[in-house]
Amino acid sequence: MGGKATAKAKAVSRSQRAGLQFPVLALAGNASKDVKAKHITPRHSQLAIHGDEELDSLIKATIAGGGVIPPMHKSLIGKKGQQKTVPIPPWHCTVTGTEEIMGICGICKNS
């Protein structure tokens, strides 16, 4: 009888472990693809876990070699749709992308 209970417990724990591993490995794989790495490192796992709100609240562990995720102050994060635009000065050449004095650039529409 002990063998059946142990086998059932192993099956349940394997499925639970697989259910937790899949999202972590999927997000870690995406993090490694973002930096064009061939292997998933502990840093990628750290970024995956702390980048997802649910996994971050579920897994409260220190990952060895994961590094530190620097905090972002809320005032630095703008709201969606609000982007600061900088006006282009009249001496900025829109064709070549360099700041040139008016009249020097022959192909600039400001000249």
In the structure encoding, which two tokens stand for residue 59, read together?
Answer: 């897994």
Give residue-wise pLDDT tens across range 49-62.
888 888 888 888 88
Give residue-wise pLDDT tens across range 51-99.
888 888 888 888 888 888 777 777 777 676 666 666 665 555 555 555 5
Single-letter code of the amino acid located at 51: G
Domain ranges of the chain: 2-58, 80-111
What's the pTM value of the predicted model, to 2 decimals?
A: 0.53
In the structure encoding, which two tokens stand for residue 17, read together?
Answer: 């472990």
CATH of 2-58, one of 1.10.10.10, 3.40.50.450, 1.10.20.10, 1.10.260.30: 1.10.20.10
Q: Is 67 left (phi over 0), alpha (psi -120 to 50) or beta?
A: left
